[in-house]
Structure 1
Amino acid sequence: MFLSLLKLIRFQNLLLVIACQFLIKYALFESFGIAVTLGAFDFFLLCLATVCIAAAGNIINDLYDVETDRLNKPHRQVIPSRISEKFGYNLYLILTVTGVGIGFYLSNLIGRPGFSAIFIIISALLYLYATYLKQVILVGNIIISLLVAMVIIIVGLYDLLPAITPQNQNTQAVIFSILLDYATFAFMINLLREMVKDQEDVTGDYNTGRNSLPIAVGRSRANKIIFALGLIPLATIIWYMYEYLFTNTYAVIYVLILIVGPLLIFEVNLLNAKKKIHYARLSLLLKIVMALGLLSLGLYPFII
């Protein structure tokens, strides 16, 4: 039961969320010695709220994907084979209320009560994604990728923004721009991965009446569209590397070997992908690229 529960909430993904947010605060922010708002415990609550909302989103997605998952990944299906739908709905509600409640507390703590709407909107979008938006070509992919980017931005909104003063606003602005750069990276890579997952799940989606890019234009054309979109993060990362990192050899090596290299492998293999297993491997590759890109936040204490 416990292992099934961890699988249901996508425990590995949640660990990446926690690692990313902790690196932002304790590697990026501390490296620049900038002013922050949240103490250790309150920052822990921010991470907890983020994880609760993300876990709830994973659960509601599985609850509305029972029939599709039965066709696409029967061996990995958790609901209803291992966990009942009733338990899943109850856990979804508990996690959502907990996440939104903590968000309300933190918003008032930092003197920005209006920020509590952020957690409410994110929760609502995750519900809409599970129930409707994922069926709209590309819209669902874009929405979920924006929410992945929010994992990064929300740290800046709660810990960085309230601490801005006329004296430190230039430094704070530089740090926030770095967060936006990472959020953009997360958005682009996750968007590619969502589109690849649509390729992987095309059979189940088609048989359950859903629409997606490969269903609309065919797998071959979808491959070419994803390939073209994949050139954008690849070119952006190379430009960013030579614009901002060229003076640090270790950072350049990290980016070339662990991010640019795998993205090139992804692009080369994508055009020849035809079977479900091919797309599953490409999806995993992008997940690794995402993780390595976000974990590069840990390099800042060594390159500043």
Structure 2
Amino acid sequence: MQRRSHIQLLVDALRLSRFNNLVIIFITQYAGAIFLLNSDQPVWFVVGDFRFFVLVLSTVIIAAAGYYINDYYDIKIDLINKPDRVIVGNTIKRRPVMIAHTSLNALGILLGAVVSLWIGVINLVCAFLLWWYSNQLKRLPFIGNFVVALLTGSTLLVLLVYYQSLDLLTMVYALFAFGITLIREIIKDIEDMEGDANYDGLTLPVVFGLRKTKIILFCIIAPFFSSLVVFLLQVRNQYLLYYFGVLTIPFIYFLYKLVLADTKKHFSYLSSYCKWLIIAGILSMAILKF
């Protein structure tokens, strides 16, 4: 029985850290290094780089700490929005979560500093922004969404610091991650509108309502999609062009579902759909190797 409780504690700790998202971050950084910044090098050039592994590990650890503190502050809201998925204060007490958050941040910053002083500083800034987001920014209209999207894009931009490069292609993929994440975060706010409204969360849907928030979403999507099209026409890689041409079909389907969406279940589906669009974007990096 005790062994089972330890296993359950580990499972809950992994759920709290959003393990699936951490795997996506891990794969994204390695894919960026292999297919974007070192496309002319063999794969083992990146895989065998221990300092780069430490960089990726530090990023994953900082992200995990961010998820811990986010759930720590959101207990009351989550009890309304997703009561069956609340872990903090239920299977794991609040104090150990805060200790884990602090310890993970310290470890992530230290590992980043071991790679380089600048990486350590970037990890420190990211850790602070994740705490500030969970503590305050996420309850403000748009600002919290923007910060999370910016942090998502930084998982690729930090590679430019490591490799001391100004690679335009990596910047564009960072922009892609930023754009899709910004859209997804606003959709998640619509999904969590009830809990946010009960605890003074001034998110876009709480302040402007569902209809106006959807209009704001389309105002974000239009320039984002247009910028992506301009990039694809300039990059002159026919395989990448074909890939994103095919990807346009599920994106149009996403827009169609967004127009019709009006329930929490609909927006939960669209939130998950955005994550698959991000994964599809990551997979397109492999085309650039050939």
Structure 1 segment 161-172 matched on structure 2, within 5 A: 161=164, 172=165
Deviation at 1:37, TM superposition (A): 10
1:125 aligns with 2:129: yes
Counterpart residue identity of residue 72, structure 2 = L
TM normalised by structure 2 equals 0.91
Which residue of 236, 241, 252 corresponds with 2:241?
252
Question: Helix, strand or coil: the match of 2:266?
Answer: helix
Over the matched positions of the two proteins, sequence identity in percent amounts to 30
In the alignment, is the contact (CA less than 8 A) between 2:138 and 2:144 conserved in 1? yes
1:137 to 138, 141, 144: 141
Structure 2 unmatched runs, 5+: 1-8
How many equivalent pairs are there? 280
Higher relative contact order (CA 8 A, sep 6+): 1
CA RMSD of the aligned region, Å?
A: 1.9
Report what 2:6 is aligned to. Answer: none
**1:233 is the counterpart of 2:241:** no
Map residues 90-129 of structure 1 onto 2, 5 A cutoff. Answer: 90-107=99-116, 113-129=117-133
1:206 is aligned to 197
For residues 283 and 198 of structure 1, the distance between their equivalents in structure 2, rounded to whole angstroms, comes to: 10
Distance 1:45 1:253 in 2: 35
Match of 2:152 in 1: 148
Among 42, 53, 58, the residue aligned to 1:44: 53
After alignment, is 179-188 or 230-239 more displaced? Answer: 230-239
CA offsets 1:223-259 (integer angstroms, 9 cap, x no match): 11112211222222222222224x52x322321223x
Shift in Å, 1:294: 2.0
Partners of 2:202 and 2:22 in 1: CA distance = 28
2:89 alignment counterpart? 80
Runs of 4+ in 1 over 4 A off after TM superposition: 36-39
CA contact (8 A) 1:27 1:301 kept: yes
- Per-residue CA deviations over 1:29-85 (Å, capped at 9, x if unaligned) read 332349x99961111100110000000000000000000000001112221222211
Structure 1 unaligned segments of length 5 or more: list them: 108-112, 162-171
Q: Are 2:288 and 1:280 aligned?
A: no
- What SS is found at the alignment partner of 1:42? helix
| Aligned mates of 1:287, 1:151 — CA distance in 2 | 15
Aligned to 1:196: 187
Q: Structure 1 146/239 Cα, relative in aligned 2: closer, same or farther at 3 Å? A: same
Aligned partners of 1:263 and 1:228: how far apart in 2? 16
